[in-house]
A and B are shown apart, each in its own frame.
Chain A
């Protein structure tokens, strides 16, 4: 079997104490013999290959080919976004790598090297502790997928997209690409052309899934592009919490991650979607996430971005039914060499819909964080409300932050408010804590944790503890 050629995490940390910490937890890779490899570069052949190995129905191949055309026709959005996008070499990326086509139901069946990867990341342990189901994706396909029996008995479907397309084609097709059309943007078109993996979840009417379902996305190969496709449908009155985590080893070449996530919350349903994004900082993370909330439904995105080289992600909610509610809670931490371009979109499309956006960003070293948002309230809607708050904290003198909200309100029945502030850690606070015996670094960590505390407390316990730890580590050595 393959050798272990893991890079040593210890040396990676020594180079830059501020940078790697959390990323080094995932900074190792195994040499895998891939059974399926679409090669380097993107063409019609690549897509035919992917579709063939997945044994897909003809309509999916057509869907993919059409998406490829749209991807090739669309320019990069550099007229408003960063020019760093031009450094993505689409012809040098490997679009599909898989060791097998069918995920295993028990960890014992998962090949050793892949199992070792997830054990190092603590996934099986978390599953035992508090999850209702887990899907673990390794490069293009899920290596492991399981949902607890109790949850499965309630009729909850939790599969990866490849399996779901085979087993529930009608249900999948009904909602697939409806929330985020192929041509929404260049990267949603790319995902639509080469998507593989990701979760498909269906929660039947009235079923409330008490424990979170989790997906874990792992990139192992160099110059790889991961394009998972997630579709979650919560039927009337259903409730679920979905969490996703991700890591990748740090390679010298850039890696691309471009997911599309679609959520549908039918009448009275509630979906909470939690992301802790912790890619290595050679990863371009360009993700399109959007949900549709029907009458009295609620969609809440909790989005935490700590890793990656460039993240561009603006989770959105289309408030389609009366009294629907959308919320985005966003935390971004940008360290040296990182640009977190995150935000939220709230599209009000029915009366009495409400939305709330709270975004907090921290820029450390030469890190750059950007908030971009859209709030749209069209004419003749009544009783819509939006609240947007974005706060930025700048740690070092060369840190940078930008805010670009866009708010459109038509009519006089819909109040909105937007507020943003930029500040640095208060010298007085630091002084106060140092007076009481804390080091400057500890004081800084405490102060930054305080800054995000009201948001972090909304995370499930395990994540909020993890987040605090990450912030502590990222802040180490940043003072001065």
Chain B
């Protein structure tokens, strides 16, 4: 397996000190505090060991797939090269990034801007709204075992999207951020930061795309901060190339009476790890954590979640659904933590695996750590094939088996998709899932 003495090269892969120095030059115009943080993060990354087989937080994962060699910063891309396809939703604003750089930006309507809404690139926000960004950017604990890769993200983060919604402002249409990886061996570090102030309401969609099927590396994070009574809907649709090694970290903070709904659609990547960290910090906070995965070929999707109830009267609901085809593999590891004073917590965690192939493998590690007694915490995990009776019912009505299976699988996903109140968004995600099935 691993060599007895690890050289520093095997710890950093392509992300050598020289590569980091070159990266720092490209962001030299950004505030000093940020550059200091990046330097500290790089040092953590370069010295932290790679995950080991005995690490509980990497149980069942294929560690041999995590090599970091052979990636580089991709070249500058213009919009026509991207073959950019619309998603079919009315948007309040749009940012398109490719290979970590801004390609195009449709600003938010002037009236929103006048009321203080900021929707801009992270670099612009760092320069113009430094203090605001500083208090929220990567300010919360996020990783569930991927400390090394999260440090890599901070070190090489070049540009991303920043959304700030001031007090009581409601934006009905979603804002969309496209993150492209273009060209072979490109490494991208997408980042989206959403700050919703008291009573604000907003929807943001992150779309992760590859322009071709080449080998790529993605290491992204999104930070969601919902202040008192705020409501954030966050949707991420991940369609990286099928030869991408992907890490995506999420950090969510919900304050008093805040509601955060996040839905992650996982379709792309060769090996994709998603880590989510939700904190319910004050009474009345509620989070919905949803995910849909269609795994096929030899894809491996590894999802690790943590929901921490830190205050009384908070609720959270997690529903992760996986459909597995061919030789694919999924891992779900979830943990609900209820702090000792978080009485009246209502937490739910559910992982449902639909096994559509005889060679697929579903792993479930649904965990609970409860330190308060007046709570309602339940979790469930199931793994099963399509119900033959339902299949028979459809076949008896003249629907071919393949189509019947697809219909039933969509029925399986609909429970999650129907939580979206925006119909266009609902249909757009459905279409993405359909495409994955058609392959």
Contact = CB atoms under 8 A, between A and B. Distances in A.
A420 interface: yes
B361 A408 contact: yes
Interface stretch (B154-162, B375-383, B426-434): B375-383
A418 B361 contact: no
B378 A397 contact: no
B370 A409 contact: no
Interface stretch (A388-396, A432-440, A466-474): A388-396
Interface stretch (A31-39, A54-62, A398-406): A398-406
B375 A420 contact: no
A415 B386 CA distance: 10
Contacts of A416: 381-384
A394 B377 CA distance: 11
B374 A397 contact: yes
Interface in A233-284: none
Contact of B355 (A403, A406, A409): A409
B380 A420 contact: yes
A408 B330 CA distance: 10
B358 A79 contact: no
Contacts of A414: 383
Interface stretch (A111-119, A288-296, A421-429): A421-429
B363 interface: yes
Interface in B350-367: 353, 355-367
Contacts of A424: 373-375
Nearest to A415: B384
Contacts of A397: 340, 343, 372-374
A172 to B, nearest CB: 34
B367 A405 contact: yes
A403 B384 contact: no
Given A395-B373, A396-B373, A418 B366 contact: yes
Contacts of B353: 409
B77 interface: no
Contacts of B372: 394, 397
A454 interface: no
A423 B376 contact: yes
Contact of A408 (B340, B357, B363, B369): B363
Contacts of A209: none
Most central of B54, B359, B370, B377 by chain A CB within 10 Å: B370
A40 to B, nearest CB: 32
B371 interface: yes
A405 B381 contact: yes
B350 to A, nearest CB: 9
Contacts of A406: 59-60, 363-365
Most central of B365, B369, B381, B384 by chain A CB within 10 Å: B381
B13 interface: no
B370 A380 contact: no
Contacts of A408: 60, 361-364
B359 A418 contact: no
A412 B380 contact: no
A412 B385 contact: yes
A136 to B, nearest CB: 40
A418 B381 CA distance: 5
Contact of B358 (A400, A411, A418): A411
B56 interface: yes
Contacts of A399: 371, 373
A401 B370 contact: yes
A378 B373 CA distance: 37
Interface in B51-81: 54-56, 59-60
Contacts of B357: 411-412
A363 B358 CA distance: 41
Contacts of A42: none
A422 B355 contact: no
Contacts of B358: 379-380, 411-413
A410 interface: yes
Contacts of A401: 368-370
Interface residues of A, number: 37
Contacts of A108: none
Contacts of A207: none
Contacts of B376: 421-423
Most central of A79, A408, A421, A424 by chain B CB within 10 Å: A408
Given A402-B368, A403-B368, A404-B367, A419 B379 contact: yes
Given A394-B373, A397-B372, A398-B371, A418 B56 contact: no
A402 B369 contact: yes
A27 to B, nearest CB: 29
A405 B364 contact: yes
Contact of A422 (B364, B368, B385): B368
Nearest to B379: A420
A422 B368 CA distance: 9
Interface in B374-418: 374-386
A396 B375 CA distance: 12
Contact of B383 (A394, A409, A422): A409
A79 B363 contact: no
Contact of A421 (B363, B377, B384): B377
Nearest to B55: A79
Interface string A74-86: 0000011000000
Contacts of B59: 406
A395 B374 CA distance: 9
A392 B378 contact: no
A392 B383 contact: no
Nearest to B345: A422
A346 to B, nearest CB: 14
Nearest to A389: B380
Contacts of A395: 373
A324 to B, nearest CB: 20
A25 interface: no
A428 to B, nearest CB: 13
Nearest to B52: A79
Nearest to A398: B340
A79 B383 contact: no
Contacts of A407: 362-365, 381, 383
A410 B361 contact: yes
A475 to B, nearest CB: 14
Contact of B378 (A412, A413, A420): A420
Contacts of B363: 406-409
Nearest to A410: B361
Contacts of B384: 415-417
Nearest to A402: B369
A411 B360 contact: yes
Contact of B54 (A79, A398, A411): A79
A400 B342 CA distance: 12
Given A392-B370, A420-B379, A411 B355 contact: yes
A407 B330 CA distance: 11
A471 B365 CA distance: 31
Contacts of B375: 394, 422-424
A286 B370 CA distance: 23
Contact of B382 (A394, A411, A418, A420): A418
A83 to B, nearest CB: 14
B360 to A, nearest CB: 7
B373 A420 contact: no
Contacts of B380: 417-420
B378 A422 contact: yes
B381 A412 contact: no
B366 A405 contact: yes
19 contacts: A79-B54, A379-B359, A394-B370, A394-B373, A400-B369, A401-B370, A402-B369, A406-B363, A407-B362, A407-B364, A407-B365, A409-B383, A415-B383, A416-B382, A416-B384, A419-B379, A420-B379, A420-B380, A422-B375
Which 7 A-B pairs have CB atoms at the shortest separation, nearest pair first?
A394-B373, A415-B384, A412-B385, A412-B355, A409-B383, A403-B368, A422-B377
Given A422-B376, A423-B377, A424-B374, 9 more contacts: A379-B359, A398-B340, A405-B366, A405-B381, A406-B365, A407-B365, A410-B362, A414-B383, A420-B366
Interface of A: 79-80, 363, 379-380, 392, 394-424
